[in-house]
Amino acid sequence: MDLNGKHIVLGLTGGIACYKAAELCRALVKQGATVQVVMTEAAAQFITPVTMQALSNRPVYDSQWDAREHNNMAHINLSREADAILIAPCSADFMAKLMHGRADDLLSLMCLARPLERVPLLLAPAMNREMWAHPATQRNLAQLRADGCTVFDVGSGAQACGETGDGRMLEPDQLLQDLVAFFQPKHLAGQRVLVTAGPTFEAIDPVRGITNLSSGKMGFAIARAAQEAGAEVTLVAGPVALPTPRGVARVDVVSARDMLQVCERLAPQSDIFVATAAVADWRPDQAATQKIKKEADGLPPSLSFVENTDILATLAQSPRGRSGALYCVGFAAESHDLLAHASAKRVRKQVPLLVGNIGPATFGQDDNALLLVDAHGSQEIPRNSKLALARMLVAEIAARRKVPA
């Protein structure tokens, strides 16, 4: 219920993408928002007010002369009630209208009359690829952003006209994520965050290897939360089957050595490093080039191991890590004695903050419980969804970075 308590005015302008607005409206309601739909005359050519009323559970407004308003000022009343006005789809024509401050229908009147300091205007463009690329549209976009509007990205792909290119309205789930992110506090605005997630895989032969049960869900949640908080995020992911969080750059790796190489390359351009990945401590000394066959005696082959380089300790003990220019946060997945092991690991790795959890209780799950350990003691964060915990952790990191360890 990320939008619980939020009141969203959902504006629809003319375009075939209006069909996506129906699913978006439903998704907003499921996330706890109340939704007031306002449609232009052109939008009603693509989807009916009856459909939007059924999905929003509220009467739809489509006229500035609506007699239901006691003062006949729907454009004032509706805008004052909103936590945000989201125009989805927002046509090229409506963008031009907004840019010039024209107000000849209820939706444009409402956008112009909204309190600028309190009611943000969010636009989800939708149009043909040539219309999107036209210099006039791009000028309008630039001016709308300069005027304080938030303009979401457009998608790329097949369009209703039969052409292919940029200009599609984002899918409802993408817009929902962007709207949720918009409302999150921007604790890490301007910061560059590097996150590792998931397991590593250390090859024994071409078909076998050593890995662990980490799903990567916590690390992916932290990457999403950091992006929501305004950071530029790069996620270094071991072998997991998870979608990349919106707005996050992703680098896929397999082994601990792969992950170390990428992290060492990216660390000099990062401000915060969150080592969530469950990196293998050891790897086979030599990986066989062909599959190892079972011998007649049935005994397993003799394997020798070497220790992998500790990624967290390497970055934490680098010049930028020691100076605090790179704020390093470690994770400890333990099976028992969490506080003792996490405290010892924090000292050993020389990091200002260590986050502990009980691995068997969280691997593959959508929830978790965390223990934050620093030089001053420990703090428990009770079990919650991993995304909720990630947002709390991001806020903690932002606050701790401002105070010397």
Q: Which of 183, 200, 235 is the last residue of a domain?
A: 183
Helical H segments across 102-242, by residue range: 106-113, 129-133, 135-146, 172-183, 217-228
Structure tokens at 87: 């125009």
Report the CATH number that the domain containing residue 15 is assigned in CATH.
3.40.50.1950
Q: Contact, 103 vs 34, CB < 8 A?
A: no
**371-374 long-range contacts, CB within 8 A, separation 24+:** 371/338, 371/339, 371/342, 372/396, 373/339, 373/342, 373/343, 373/346, 374/346, 374/400, 374/405
Q: What's the DSSP call for residue 363?
A: T
Of 143, 161, 183, which one is at a domain's C-terminal end? 183
What is the DSSP-derived secondary structure letter of residue 199?
Answer: B
- Amino acid 393 reads L
The answer to whether residues 161 and 77 belong to one domain is: yes
Catalytic pick among 18, 90, 149, 161: 161
Contacts of 199 (CB under 8 A, 6+ apart): 211, 212, 213, 214, 216, 238, 239, 240, 277, 278, 279, 280
Tell me if 317 is assigned to some domain.
Answer: yes
Same domain? For 325 and 243 the reply is: yes
Residue 90 resides in a domain: yes
User: Quick check: is 345 in a domain?
Assistant: yes
User: Are both 19 and 149 inside the same structural domain?
Assistant: yes
264/282 same-domain check: yes
Range of the domain at 384: 192-401
For 1-60, what is each residue's pLDDT tens digit?
A: 899 999 999 999 999 999 999 999 999 999 999 999 999 999 999 999 999 999 999 999
User: Which of 161, 183, 205 is a domain's end point?
Assistant: 183
On whether residue 1 sits in a domain, the answer given is no
Based on the domain organization, do 105 and 218 belong to the same domain? no
Tokens encoding 111: 């956008």
281 and 315 assigned to the same domain = yes
Residue 237 forms part of a structural domain: yes
> What gap in Å lies between CA 30 and CA 227, rounded to an integer?
23
Per-residue model confidence (pLDDT) at position 67: 81
pLDDT digit string (tens) for the chain, length 405 residues: 899 999 999 999 999 999 999 999 999 999 999 999 999 999 999 999 999 999 999 999 999 888 888 888 999 999 999 999 999 999 999 999 999 999 999 999 999 999 999 999 999 999 999 999 999 999 999 999 999 999 999 999 999 999 999 999 999 999 999 999 999 999 999 999 999 999 999 999 999 999 999 999 999 999 999 999 999 999 999 999 999 999 999 999 999 999 999 999 999 999 999 999 999 999 999 999 999 988 888 788 889 999 999 999 999 999 999 999 999 999 998 888 999 999 999 999 999 999 998 777 778 889 999 999 999 999 999 999 999 999 999 999 999 987 443
The model's pTM is 0.92
2 within some domain:
no
> In this structure, which amino acid lies at residue 89?
P
Same domain, 198 and 57: no
- On whether both 220 and 367 belong to a single domain, the answer is yes
> How many beta carbons lie within 10 A of that of residue 68, not counting itself?
10
Q: What's the number of domains the chain is made of?
A: 2
Please indicate, yes or no, whether residues 110 and 74 belong to a single structural domain of this protein. yes
- Tell whether 176 and 203 lie within a shared domain: no
What pLDDT is attached to residue 297? Answer: 83
pLDDT for 404 equals 45
246-290 pLDDT tens trace:
999 999 999 999 999 999 999 999 999 999 999 999 999 999 999
Q: Alpha helix locations (H) across 274-337?
A: 311-316, 319-323
Mark whether 266 and 166 lie in a shared domain. no
- Helix, strand, coil fractions of the chain, as percent rounded to 5: 35, 25, 40
The answer to whether residue 375 sits within a structural domain is yes
Same-domain pairing of 148 and 24: yes
C-beta of residue 30 within 8 angstroms of C-beta of residue 142: no
161 an active-site residue?
yes
Give the list of residues 6+ apart from residue 259 with CB closer than 8 angstroms, or none.
196, 200, 236, 238, 253, 277, 279, 311
84 inside domain: yes
Cα Rg of the chain (Å, integer): 26
The 10s digit of each residue's pLDDT in 201-212 is: 999 999 999 999
Which pLDDT score is estimated for 329?
Answer: 97
